[in-house]
Amino acid sequence: MNTFLENQNWRYATKKFDATKKISTQDLNTLKEAIRLSSSSYGLQPYKVLIVENPELRTKIQEVAWGQSQIVDASHLIVFANQTNIGGIEIDTMIDNMSLTRGIPLDSLTGYGDFMKSKINSLSEQAKNTWTSKQTYLALGNLLNAAAEMKIDVTPMEGFDPVALNEILDLNAQNLNAALIATIGYRHQDDATQFYKKVRKSNEELFITL
């Protein structure tokens, strides 16, 4: 745990990446697995994770992301896109996967599937989309923690135009919506931000014991 806390102190929202340093395929696969293993409500994972390597696409994305240099300089760009208007089809797919993975009869999971449908299908479309977008933050948390353990920098971003990004990546046609961006790579030695002291609330300010 001491190492974990040390690495949490090491990480920061990198402002300037070293564009000459790339994440290895092995390390990228580890980060992808960390995202895949992330917790999510009901285990539904109601999102897709796009890994954007194409430089032309990344330049277009930078234009709708406040011109931030991390978009094009980082080794990889990750877009967390939540599913929109999720419903019975996605739930049935998850139940099928659970049956296959755990080797249990499909009909034994009918009750669980019906329970999920009763909760999710009763929501408005807006509420569904808000809920699925929140799930992407859980996946981002796993990425942040795994990357810190590997001394790989991550900058999570909400500073972009989701409507424009959806159009660039053709997400609407896939019933997806860009919820979060994360740039990953290695900090540039000239990024002064890495030397700033981490500013956080004290335990007394943050925690309430009841």
Residue pLDDT, tens place only, 110-124: 999 999 999 999 999
- The amino acid at residue 50 is L
Q: How many angstroms separate the CA atoms of 135 and 40, rounded?
A: 6
Is 165 inside any structural domain? yes
Element (DSSP H or E) covering residue 135? helix 125-149
Q: Where are the beta strands (DSSP E) in 66-124?
A: 76-83
Confidence bin at 1 (pLDDT 50/70/90): low
Tell me whether residue 200 is in a domain: yes
Show the domain range for 49: 2-83+139-206
Question: Does 17 fall in a domain?
Answer: yes
Q: What is the pLDDT of residues 130-188, one digit of tens each?
A: 999 999 999 999 999 999 999 999 999 999 999 999 999 999 999 999 999 999 999 99
Mean pLDDT of 60-72: 98
Instruction: Give the model's pLDDT for residue 130.
Output: 97
53 domain-assigned: yes
Rounded to an integer, what distance in angstroms lies between the CA atom of residue 131 and that of residue 41?
Answer: 9
Q: Is residue 130 part of a domain?
A: no
- Residue 39 is part of a domain; what is its CATH number? 3.40.109.10
How many structural domains does the chain have?
1
Nearest to 168 by CA among 76, 84, 52: 52
The pTM is what? 0.95
